[in-house]
Amino acid sequence: MLTIDKLNELGANTAEGLQRCLNDEGFYLGLVPSALEKARYEELDQRIKAKDLDGAFETAHALKGILANLSLTPLFDVVNEITELLRSKTDTDYSGLVDKMWEQWNKFAALL
């Protein structure tokens, strides 16, 4: 069950996210599942694995934006880190960061 309290427990800054939604909890909670759509994270994962750094950057950048707006902070932090590396086209081993991303995603997705 997705609630504000449970999101807070996972480290989301819901106060900030809610403020952007004019403190409309229902509206805010209604947006969160879209930000956790699994297919998009899988897309990022696959593009990184395929060394499609430009494509991966686009996906990461888009995810980063929505996670920031909803202030799902722990997930945002790791996606942000991936985005910045991709922006500079850093050819490195992303697997650790991708695992971390899935770890956070799983925590949030478990609430849905």
Partner 1 sequence: MGTFVEQRLNLKRKVLVVDDELINRKLLSQIIGRDYEVLLAENGRKALRIIREHQETLSLILLDLLMPEMDGYELLEIIHNDLELSRIPVIVLTAEKSAEVKSLQMGAADFIPKPYDAPEVILARIGRTIELFDSNTIISATEFDSVTKLFNREFFMEYAYLHDQYYPDFEMDAYVLDINRFHLLNEMYGRAFGNDVLCHVAARLKELVKERHGVACRDSADVFFFYLPHTETPDEVYQYIEYSIRDLWQDARSHIRLGIYPKVDRSLDMNRRFDCALLACNSIRHNFTSHIAFYDAEMHEKEAFGERLISEMDTALQEKQFLVYYQPKFDITGDEPVLASAEALIRWQHPSLGMISPGQFIPLFEENGLINKLDRYVWYEAAAQIRKWRDKYGVTVPVSVNVSRIDICEPDFVYEIKRIVKDNGLRPQDYYLEVTESAYTENSDQIIEVVNELREYGFRIEMDDFGTGYSSLNMLTDLPIDVLKLDMKFVRNMHTNEKDYRIVQLIMDIAEFLDVTVVAEGVEFEEQYKLLKEADCDVIQGFYFSKPVPPEELEKFIVKED
Q: How far is the CB of 68 from partner 1 (least distance, A)?
A: 4
Identity of the residue, 88 or 93, whose beta carbon is nearer to partner 1 in the bound complex: 88
Measured in whole angstroms, how far is the alpha carbon of residue 98 from the centre of its chain?
11
> Least separation, in Å, of the C-beta of 51 and partner 1?
21
* Cβ distance to partner 1 smaller for residue 96 or 101: 101
Q: Which is nearer to partner 1, 54 or 93 (CB)?
A: 54
CB contact at 8 A, 108 and 36: yes
CA–CA gap between residue 17 and residue 45 (Å, rounded): 26
Shortest spacing between CB 45 and partner 1, in angstroms: 19
Interface residues with partner 1 (CB under 8 A)? 16, 19-22, 24, 27, 31, 34-35, 58, 61-62, 64-66, 68-71
Separation of alpha carbons 85 and 98, rounded Å: 12
Where do we find the tokens 């900030």? Answer: 16
Residues 50, 23: Cα–Cα separation, whole Å: 41
* Cα distance between residue 5 and residue 91, in whole Å: 39
Complex with partner 1: residue 54 or 91, whichever CB lies closer:
54
Question: CB of residue 100 vs partner 1: minimum separation in angstroms?
Answer: 21
